[in-house]
Amino acid sequence: MKKQIGINLIIDVYNLSRKFFERKFLLSLIKDLVKITKSKPVGVPIVKRISSPRYPFIGYSLLQIIQESHIAFHTWPEYNYLAIDIFSCKKIEIQKILNFLKKRLNENVKIRVKKYDRVCYI
């Protein structure tokens, strides 16, 4: 027998301008997504600035653990691309999240969404 234990939203955001890749903005965005999803944060977001000789551009990875699972961001400013991963063990309003992102990012962004039902076999 299989049981759905949550959903995983994979959200790709394209065509962002540089101002949306600043640490302060990303922190604000992840905190607002916690509120929009009516989740409960566990601790503060983890923020890592990523760069290396192999990947000379500077991007950020953010992770907010929530009681219901997690919300994560990974940025590629050189491609004007933001990857968002939301995994929740409770029901979330997908359209509300997308409406919020479109309004908050307030420009010509393209958003692609994939929803995966997370299941376990018992």
CB 73 within 8 A of CB 30: yes
Residues 6+ positions from 44 with CB-CB distance below 8 Å? none
Q: Which long-range contacts (CB under 8 A, 24 or more apart) does 42-47 make?
A: 42/66, 42/67, 47/23
Q: What is the pLDDT of residue 27?
A: 96
Q: What is the pLDDT of residue 52?
A: 73
**% of the chain beyond a pLDDT of 70:** 98
Strands 81-88 and 46-50: unpaired
Q: What is the pLDDT of residue 82?
A: 96
Q: Which residues are catalytic?
A: 69, 74, 89
Q: What is the pLDDT of residue 70?
A: 97
10-14, 38-42, 104-108: which has the minimum mean pLDDT? 104-108
For the chain, the domain total comes to 1
pLDDT in tens, 82-121: 999 999 999 999 999 999 999 998 778 999 999 999 998 9
3-state secondary structure of 79: helix
pLDDT in tens, 41-57: 999 999 999 877 777 77
CATH of residue 25: 3.60.90.10
Which position has the token pair 């995966």? Answer: 116
The parent domain of residue 13 ranges over 2-121
Q: Distance of alpha carbon 71 from its chain centroid, rounded? A: 5
